[in-house]
Amino acid sequence: MSKRANHSPDPAHAPVTPAARQPPRQRGLRFAALGLQAIVATLLLLLVLAVASTHLREQLLLPLGYGWNAYSSPIPSWIVLFGVGVALILVAAGVLLASWRLQGRSWYRIALGYAALGVVLAYLAHDEATIRHPLKMEEISPVFPGAEASFNVLMRYGRAHPLGQNFKASTFKNPYPNFAPDPPGPWRGTIVTHRAELEAHWAELTPERAWLAELNAFDRIGDLTPMRADADIIAFQPFRCLSQHGIAIASLQALDGHGGRRHRHPPAHPPAWPQDSTVLAHLGALDDRRRD
């Protein structure tokens, strides 16, 4: 037998790696434990990124039908959901691979990883007292005499109400006016150019203007919205259309010399001035309470 053959390695005495010493069942349990750890760590990372980035948070809410851009985003919600899912899978796989290299040989290291995640979860569960003891709607918007009556009038144009569902916003001939009073120069040109359309639309909005006048008769507007995700809310288009046209008509009347000063004695036949400022102030306060 040659000298080379005498020095060939013996398979029976070959070095065995720690991972090879583990029985298949032990390796499977360690892999499952690290997999769960990677999933939790990835979801926590997603939560941190969603809190830090408003844009990312809006995109994550799109598939659920929430967020400011839920109905106007050019990106279909399924594409957002698919992209987020693929990114989560890739991140979780990377975390799992790193965890397997760092912790896969020791249950002690795996336990330390879970302990670190436990500390983070415990902090998230106890850092906000308002989450553990949420305010009730009665504390935010207390019921007062006349709250039910004013709320019923308000929700006459709710999204689930026929008036709110059947409301059609006014249309303009091209170009569509830019309803931005600042700066004043372009705004003056916009309302003068579209004056005929604005005045015609304002006349068509007589039922909605009467609704605002009825709301304006209340000292306060109650908020009795049920605390449910499917609760009816006020329709957006009627208020948008009324506020835009109201500002435009008020500006046109100011250009005509009406409303430039306060009259001690109101005229016998006042112009059809938009009477929605008080109502909009009430609803702005109501919306602030809901957001808080």
Range of the domain at 149: 139-261+270-291
pLDDT surpasses 50 at 205: yes
Asked if residue 154 belongs to a domain, the reply is yes
**Residue from 145, 141, 146, 169 nearest 157 by CA:** 169
Domain boundary among 115, 132, 149: 132
Q: Are residues 148 and 276 in the same domain?
A: yes
The conformation of residue 136, written as its DSSP 8-state character, comes to P
Q: Are residues 192 and 85 in the same domain?
A: no
Which residue is associated with the tokens 């039910």? 148
**Number of Cβ within a 10 Å radius of residue 168:** 8
Domain boundary among 71, 105, 132: 132
- What are 64-122's pLDDT values in tens digits? 555 545 445 566 666 767 777 788 888 888 888 887 777 666 787 888 888 888 888 88
Asked if residue 169 belongs to a domain, the reply is yes
- Rounded-to-integer distance, Cα 89 and Cα 137, Å: 39
Side-chain-facing half-sphere of 34: CA atoms under 13 Å: 24
Decide: helix, strand or coil at residue 279: helix
Domain boundary among 86, 105, 132: 132
- Rounded-to-integer distance, Cα 230 and Cα 181, Å: 36
Asked if residue 2 belongs to a domain, the reply is no
Q: Mean pLDDT lowest for which of 12-21, 79-88, 158-167?
A: 12-21
pLDDT at 133: 64
User: Beta partners for 234?
Assistant: 158
- Rounded-to-integer distance, Cα 42 and Cα 89, Å: 9
pLDDT at 79: 73
Decide: helix, strand or coil at residue 158: strand
**Residue from 13, 31, 15 nearest 23 by CA:** 31
Give the C-alpha distances (Å, rounded to integers) separating 249 from 109, 267, 274: 71, 19, 7
> How many domains does the chain contain in total?
2
- What are 219-252's pLDDT values in tens digits? 989 888 887 778 888 899 998 999 999 999 999 9
